[in-house]
Structure 1
Amino acid sequence: MTVEYTLTIRTSSKLGAGTNAAISVVLMGTKGESPPHLLDKRFHNDFEAGAVDAYVVKTEDVGDLLLLRFTNAGGGVGGDWLLDSVMVTTPGKHWFFPYYRWVLAKTTADVLEGTARLPQHVQHERERAARSELLQARQRMYPWRPAEATAGLPGALDITEARPLPKDELYRGLVDGSYEVVIAKTLAAIKLHMPVLSKAWNGLVDIFDFFKGIELPGLARRWQDDYEFARQAVQGISPVHIQSITALPDGMPVTEDAVKGQLSPGMTLEQAVAARRVFLLDFEILGDVPMFKKTDKDGVEERRWAPASRCLLYLDDTQQLRPIAIQLGRDPELDPVFTPNDSPHDWLAAKIYLRCSEGNAHQMVGHALRTHFVAEPFVMATMRNLPDPHPVYKLLRRHFRYTLAINEGARKGLLDAGGVFDDIIATGGPDQGHLFLGKKGYKAWTLADNKPRPDIERRGVLDPAVLPHYPYRDDALLLWDALEEYVGGVLGAFYKSDEDLVRDTDMQRWWKDLTEHGLPVDKLPCAELKRVAELTDILATVLFTVSVQHAAVNYLQYEHYAFVPNAPLCMRQAPPRKKGVLGEKDIEAMIPSKTQMLWQVAVGRALSSFGDDEEYLLHEGGWREDYFQEPELIAIRDRFHARLRAQSEAVKARNAKSAVPYTVLQADRIPCGITV
């Protein structure tokens, strides 16, 4: 019996997605397969970017469709084709084929029917074989880097000249181009508007000249204010360090006299600590990290510093935080405690050094390691072990877009010898202190550390009665709860019992691959993947990490770092060990050079950019990549988006009353994954 199949084919709207190549298709079903059919309409430009084209294929009944085999006969420039999805209909039946990947010129691609299905529920041998063949091809495309190449760090994709990054993972341009282009444009805009006449550079004052052609960060006019300094601890670029304390830190000799006048009238420091009104920022992790030290060909030595500093913050009677003590080291005999009662230059220098310490810890541990690099093993395990129809692949894929590309770009452009970090951060340089710092952070890290509620509770700041104004906490917890419910709902639709997970050979292979090559078992919450609740916990943490947490520690980089005196990534002088001797000229000599400042501004601007094809957790008009068609799954997604809309409205309402809004964790501004 001849059947008329209508194929509605959606080509991606991305630049270069279309093709003029000849595209043919074979329909494969439970009863057999069709001959190849050329998809070509007369007087019509087929498969243009963003186009939706319909084609009729008449052939013998092949039964329920299992896959579509597309052959791209093209060659040369523009031959590749970026296929989004296909809907196939016959009278009374329809099948959906989501793909969202390239069909390369002179290749054939099998697009599997999109019904989400665990491997134990696959009925037809042809479907089983297609899933297996897909994974074999992916494992060749996504090989693990040799263990020795990632020693002390999470596993990663192995990229060589002979085996480059798969085109499906290639980095798309940002609104202004790739992040390298954004850096170049920023440097050009700054230099275009700089004064022509050269003069002695004063970074504290002349930094404003950088912003005649680009936007001035909002904090530039208030960065020296103590309340602004403390605000950044709860809604700045790294809002994950503040902790409540019940005793003063060992080796930090803060006296009552030193903080006289800084506490509420009649309150002693001991009473303030007992009342849980004193908080700590501590960058002890920097203690043994090699700092930049390099001697040039003329014998001139350059050094940089980011000390293992710490700071006490006080919650005053207006319910606002203020810094009351900073120590730029751990030796009570050598490293004095600076307070607002010291000279203005001493106190300003102490705050700048503290921010430098925070910046180095943030860039390598809080940002690069705990979001970018710990996510990569999950991307790898997923691409190597889960076929397109697997529900976990469908759940995760949109959140992994571009992560492999941006990680490789970061390794080459920022972290490698001669990269940008060599030029601008204190832990860069020949001794590779930044890599030492990343490995040190990884050694102490487990995936559970990325769960917001236990982390915030461990730091003693979960209760708003203890720390009333903590926007990161308030926004992140609402998002975590929504993500956890969403992940649990999706998994619960397929795993009706723990036994279903144990019998899922795809996920068991995923776990084995992950723990053998990506993350050791001791970094994960369980030794074996046997409980659906534990898988829910793991995947919710991964999605929170690549979306919410990455947004928190990334998208304020321009605002935080571009006005460099606020948060320099290196200091060019050793921390002061005597009080009362610093002047403005000394601070000018401590902060980064003009060239280092230029790079810090440009990199901060690039890393804060959004893509022109960015997809957000709460995306206007809905997510562009549609993986699930099942009504139960659509209802779960709609419930998730409803919770995100409520979160977004709550954030907007709070920000309307805030002197300095915190917007990076507003659901409609959070990219689904790590895309920069």
Structure 2
Amino acid sequence: MAVLPQNDPNPSQRDLDLQSKRDLYRYYVPDLPRVPRIVELAAEEKFDDRWSQAETLRQARAEGAALDSLTINLNSFGAYAELHRTLPSKPSVTSHWMSNECFADQRLAGVNPLMIRRVSSSAPLPAASKIDDGHAAETGVKLQTAIDEGRIFVCDYRDLNRLPNLGGFVPTVGLVVPQKRVRAPIALFYWQGDRESGGLRPLAIQTDQDTDVAVFTPKDHPHAWAMAKAGVQVADAHLHQYDSHIVRTHLSMAVFKIAAERQLAQAHPVLQLLRPHLRFLLAINEAAFSVLINPGGYVDELMAPTWLDSMKMVDHFWKTWTFRDLCPLPKELASREMDSVTTPHIAYPYRDDGMLIYGAIEAFVGEFVDIYYRDDSDVTNDVELQLFVAELTAPDRLGVRDLTPDDKIVTLAALKEVLTAAIWTCGPQHAAVNFPQWDYVGHVPNMPLAGYRDLPLEGDQPMEADVLSYLPPNHPPSVVSGKQVAVMYYLGTYRYDMLGYYQDKDFDDPEAWDAVARFQCNLARVGGELFRVDQQRRTSYPYLWPWNIPNSTSI
């Protein structure tokens, strides 16, 4: 039965349990990226038979699609749809990816809805921006007026300036293909109309921060504009993988798993609450380091930088990641002025759906914690919880920054906020950045993982063939595009379980199961509301429907 350490009648057995677990969950910090990793995967952390059986089928389908791609001649945009022909589903964006509406909607409901921020007097346009009133006027917008009205939004990819040689990276895996490229663009957007009937539309794209800068608008040559949009998509894919996906979900929550197992006994209620939401996380991370983000792996082959430079980017985002700014959803949204208080006039599916899911998790966590903790003194007297916090936050240990304002958990309110944010990150947040990969990155021309030629300069009038040549090369026959499709299908189409639905072994307390039942009812109510609202949207956003969210980062 779950019990706090100060109330456990058998503390010596509890201590033995903890010592055994500390031996099992030893960790180290590699040279690059300098992120704590487990020394050896404990038996209970390995994938179970159900996960492994589903993986076998998924891998076979992905490999079949990659093999089939070798027979496809990608000599037109339409030909890219053929890359999905052996798979049981196709990306939802396949038929309309070229539209400006689809491009804009991906900032709010795509694979990386964390880049967009509002432009305001307190958060002005980026210093490197050369987008001015004249560019905005081309599409009928008075820039300063629109800023004052809270209708201008920006995606700034300046973090990619940390990469050397942005103009062209030599391929690292032996393929005879053109140099891969990624730039650091700035993209400006305008919200037109009201919340219900309006929508986001692109205003202008600056192709880089300082070198070979060109600014394009939707009024420019259509192929030049298409290439500028593709440059944004490539940049977005890089920051999605390095930061939004790898660091903010997989790596940030892995240290929670390590600290929880090392410092919380089997009978600790916080461990029992967190475990289902951390299931298979260490296993999937180690698998990723072996086949996805290893030298010569898929990230190395498909994305623009060398493996070493990619890992330096992951290392940078890990060193600058803070829990308090990026994990509690309300604070993360407010940091970009994208919360519903600051920007109530826009429809932002990631935010609007996410806040309802976050609220359901918050209510469940509050009820669960109240079963075991009577008041703040129970929190401060919980020696295991305090050791968990210490291991998690110590700079020479797991190194999480800004867990709370003082890096301590001494109140019920602080405990509930941290646990809510952790569960949100493990389940819904990961769902929001993982599962759209199939719909948006699975269709290669919508979001190529690297560019393969230079972007146009102002005044250029490229041909359709130039746009096609920016995409992965057709020689050797479609191998790069085929692998991109295969990886995105593998990653973006499998859900092990469903948020709020637990295994019999997860809890041993009837009161906890009562709280779970109420959580499930709340999620069902929220899910019905999200489904109803989604029917009226310009772009569907199914990724935060409760039945589409796993409990944990298990893929």
TM score, norm. by length of structure 2: 0.90
Deviates more, 1:314-323 or 1:173-182: 173-182
Gaps of 5+ in 2: none
- Tell me the distance in 1 between the aligned counterparts of 2:81 and 2:265: 53
SS of 1:638 mapped into structure 2:
helix
Change (3 A) 1:313 1:466: farther
How far does the alpha carbon of each residue in 1:518-538 deviate from its partner, in whole angstroms, 9 at most, with x for none? 532534223333233222222
Q: CA deviation at 1:378?
A: 0.9
The counterpart of 1:514, out of the listed 378, 383, 392, is 392
Question: What are the equivalent positions in structure 2 for 1:375-414 lying under 5 Å apart?
Answer: 375-414=253-292
**2:3 maps to which residue?**
117
The SS at the match of 2:131 is coil
Quote the offset at 1:493 in angstroms.
Answer: 2.2
State the shift of 1:301 in Å.
Answer: 8.7
> 2:464 corresponds to which residue?
584
1:444 aligns with 2:326: no
Deviation at 1:351, TM superposition (A): 0.4
- Does structure 2 retain, via aligned residues, the 8 Å contact 1:179–1:607? no
Residue 617 (structure 1) aligned with residue 496 (structure 2): no
Deviation at 1:487, TM superposition (A): 1.7
- Equivalence for 1:154: 35
Question: 1:591 Cα shift?
Answer: 1.2
Equivalences for residues 276-675 of structure 1 within 5 A: 276-290=150-164, 293-294=169-170, 303-317=179-193, 318-331=197-210, 334-429=212-307, 432-448=308-324, 449-463=326-340, 466-516=344-394, 519-520=398-399, 522-525=401-404, 526-593=406-473, 594-611=478-495, 614-619=496-501, 623-675=502-554
State whether structure 2 residue 134 is matched by structure 1 residue 251: no
- Counterpart for residue 204 of structure 1: 77
Structure 1 gap ranges (5+): 1-114, 160-164
Q: Secondary structure at the match of 2:537?
A: coil
User: Match for 1:170: what amino acid?
Assistant: K
CA distance in 2, matches of 1:531, 1:188: 53
Contact 1:175–1:609 (CA under 8 A) maintained in structure 2 = no
Offset of 1:175 from its aligned partner?
7.0
Whether 2:106 is the aligned partner of 1:232: answer yes
Residue aligned with 2:401, SS: helix
Quote the Cα distance in structure 2 between the aligned partners of 1:194 and 1:595. Answer: 6
| CA apart distance, 1:664 | 0.9
Retained in 1: the 8 A contact 2:281–2:552?
Answer: yes
User: Quick one: structure 1 residues 415 and 306, their matched pair in 2 at CA, closer, same or farther if it must change by over 3 Å?
Assistant: same
SS of the residue corresponding to residue 501 of structure 1 reads helix
Deviations 1:27-78 (A, max 9, x none): xxxxxxxxxxxxxxxxxxxxxxxxxxxxxxxxxxxxxxxxxxxxxxxxxxxx
What letter matches 2:225 in structure 1? W
Native 8 Å contact 1:191 1:210 kept in 2:
no
Helix, strand or coil for the counterpart of 2:482? Answer: helix
SS of 1:537 mapped into structure 2: helix
Residues 437-446 or 287-296, more deviating = 287-296
Asked if 1 retains the 8 angstrom alpha-carbon contact of 2:170 and 2:306, the reply is no
How much has 1:150 moved relative to structure 2? 5.6
| Alignment check: 8 A CA contact 1:194 1:210 kept | no
SS at match of 1:475: helix
User: Hey, what's the Cα distance between the residues in 1 that align with 2:331 and 2:292?
Assistant: 32
- Counterparts in 2 of 1:586 and 1:541: CA distance versus 1, 3 Å: same
Displacement after TM superposition at 1:443 (Å)? 2.3
Please give the secondary structure, in 1, of the residue aligned with 2:203. strand
Would you say how many aligned residue pairs link Structure 1 and Structure 2? 538
Verify: 1:143 aligned to 2:26, yes or no.
yes
TM-aligned CA deviation for residue 299 of structure 1: 13
Which amino acid in 1 is paired with 2:227? A
Cα distance in 2 for residues equivalent to 1:324 and 1:186: 37
Alignment of 1:144-183 (within 5 A): 144-145=27-28, 147=29, 149=30, 153-159=34-40, 165-172=41-48, 177=53, 179=55, 182-183=58-59
Check conservation: 2:216, 2:458, Cα contact below 8 A: no
Structure 2 distance, partners of 1:496, 1:442, is: 36
Name the CA distance, whole Å, in 1 between partners of 2:242 and 2:76: 25
The answer to whether the 8 A contact 1:193-1:212 is kept is no
Residues 131-162 of structure 1, C-alpha deviations (whole Å, 9 max, x = no match): 222222222221112x3x16664322113xxx
Residue correspondence of structure 1 range 43-54 to structure 2 within 5 A: none
Change (3 A) 1:299 1:140: closer
Q: Report what 1:67 is aligned to.
A: none
Work out the CA distance in 2 between the residues paired with 1:557 and 1:220: 13
Paired letter, 1:438: V
Q: Which deviations, in whole Å up to 9, do the C-alpha atoms of 1:406-435 show, x marking residues without a partner?
A: 000011111111111111011334xx2211
Aligned to 1:22: none
2:49 & 2:234 partners in 1: Cα distance? 31
Deviations 1:196-250 (A, max 9, x none): xx86x42634212212222331211111100111111111111112211124433
Aligned-partner residue type, residue 139 of structure 2: Q
Shift of 1:190: 5.3
Aligned partners of 2:397 and 2:459: how far apart in 1? Answer: 49
How far residue 171 of structure 1 moved from its aligned partner, in angstroms, is: 2.0
**CA distance 1:356–1:180, change in 2 (3 Å):** farther
Identity of paired residues, percent? 26
Q: Is 1:133 aligned to 2:4, yes or no?
A: no
Report deviation, 1:506: 1.7
**Normalized per residue, which structure has more helix?**
2
